[in-house]
Structure 1
């Protein structure tokens, strides 16, 4: 262990042996590291080690205080909440890695970005603000639009691909989505529900992660532009949230763009409570 108390490893099993209980202690707050580490654990070392990942845990007095991960040599740093002093120690430790970005709760991301600039000369730019929600008491919106939620099946794949291409374009994600690439996208391992009208026409969709650490994250939620404003997004979000609880989730989380007042108001109406503000800083020399 180094004097700064950050333990680094390239082995996901080593990280989870040290810090798995810590990540599961606050499953909604740790939603992204939980799903990321579970995906890597499932892939196995041979599949992920070629990408030169690095993981780390902050350990003091026999307790884990924080976790970070970088999945690939060109990937951003993900980091659980830390103090500015611990963010600075980590920035000094990782200064040789050439990170393109950091993603963390806003205060932690800001502290790390400022330290990264001091240690590397890279200029941070705030590129993304996002709000993390945790489900309180699920409440169906009134009135509920006519129709029902339906689990997406194999026969829906083309519809699923098309809506994800539209969703990615809406949020500015540069990703190719088709039958060949689907499994390698961040969407490919999720479980989906459509809201469909009484005649069986799909009008909205929501996805959810598999349960991990007692947590499920709802992601993404999408309604085509010409069908918005009719209550479909609220209905499908409630349907997939119920499915998450039925699958055994003790905590259900979701992210929302804080600039989108409509979606934020909707999530609060159906029982989601703001947990923290999130930020991504890009680094450029």
Structure 2
């Protein structure tokens, strides 16, 4: 087996993309991030493959400080690939704070990493990846209408971005970086808002478009507006709009939050894989 680290994103994409496009929904995160790496939107990305006799066995990708993303193309060789990958990462002094992958794969990797590095791990988020091809048109919608966010909405979105991180226990992003990220999403027309009687009550954004699909993310409703169906309505309306351009939408949910999983299924989303985000002690 050969572990290959890539400095050039185009070279990595030539190897990775044929497999990824055949599994565009399941590995939309990996594929979408790879596209952004190719566009130069990440600094110091880490990209690697394991191959044997021309056969692709595994793919690895990381855009620090985001998690190390792992795909095993040939599950029969997973254990050997994990051993080789960890050996190479240690040899190259690659720092990993967390990993994300299909649940079974992530736990096997984390257990080996803990054994080799002595770093304990914990679940940061137990996730389900859901896919939507067609909206349930019989869904009852909350009052109000959706619209794209504009630059005038930036202060509110910046505030909600920080609150979203608190709710989901994500690492806290510096205010200046939040401001930059919000500007990018507004410039790209990616943020959706639900407004009722002149008041903005919920939001979502589109992320990581691929050839046929797109991700729904950053779904947030402030505490005072919850339990009114706004999040479900926002995601339903936003997803319907996105399906005009894409064949399907995907989104990640927290499996420990039965409410969010229920509302997405009511919209028409169906779970396609169990995923997990695991963090290593520092």
TM-score normalized by structure 1?
0.86
* Deviation of the 1:70 alpha carbon: 2.1
- Given that residues 148 and 189 in structure 2 are in contact (C-alpha distance below 8 angstroms), is that contact kept between their aligned partners in structure 1? no
* Aligned-partner SS, 1:24: helix
C-alpha distance in 2, partners of 1:180/1:101? 21
C-alpha distance in 1, partners of 2:58/2:142? 43
C-alpha distance in 1, partners of 2:35/2:58? 17
- Given that residues 130 and 257 in structure 1 are in contact (C-alpha distance below 8 angstroms), is that contact kept between their aligned partners in structure 2? yes
Which of 234, 237, 249 is the matching residue for 1:236? Answer: 234
Which of 49, 58, 61 is the matching residue for 1:66? Answer: 58
The match for 1:222 is 220
C-alpha distance in 2, partners of 1:180/1:276? 31
C-alpha distance in 1, partners of 2:184/2:125? 19
The match for 2:140 is 143
- Given that residues 127 and 274 in structure 2 are in contact (C-alpha distance below 8 angstroms), is that contact kept between their aligned partners in structure 1? yes
* Deviation of the 1:9 alpha carbon: 1.0
* Deviation of the 1:225 alpha carbon: 1.0
**Kindly tell me: are residues 149 and 141 of structure 1, through their superposed partners in 2, closer, same or farther at Cα, counting changes over 3 Å?**
farther
Number of matched residues?
A: 274
Is 1:254 equivalent to 2:251 in the alignment?
Answer: yes
* Deviation of the 1:11 alpha carbon: 1.6
C-alpha distance in 2, partners of 1:180/1:111? 34
The match for 1:121 is 118
Q: Please report the RMSD computed on the Cα atoms of aligned residues, expressed in angstroms.
A: 2.5
C-alpha distance after superposition, 1:119-178 (max 9, x if no partner): 333333333211111114311463211211111112211121122122122112233465
The match for 2:83 is 88
In structure 1, list runs of 5 or more residues that go unmatched. none
- Given that residues 193 and 239 in structure 1 are in contact (C-alpha distance below 8 angstroms), is that contact kept between their aligned partners in structure 2? no
The match for 1:108 is 105
- Given that residues 146 and 192 in structure 2 are in contact (C-alpha distance below 8 angstroms), is that contact kept between their aligned partners in structure 1? yes
The match for 1:78 is 69
C-alpha distance in 2, partners of 1:94/1:186? 35
The match for 1:162 is 159
C-alpha distance in 1, partners of 2:208/2:48? 24
* Deviation of the 1:69 alpha carbon: 0.9
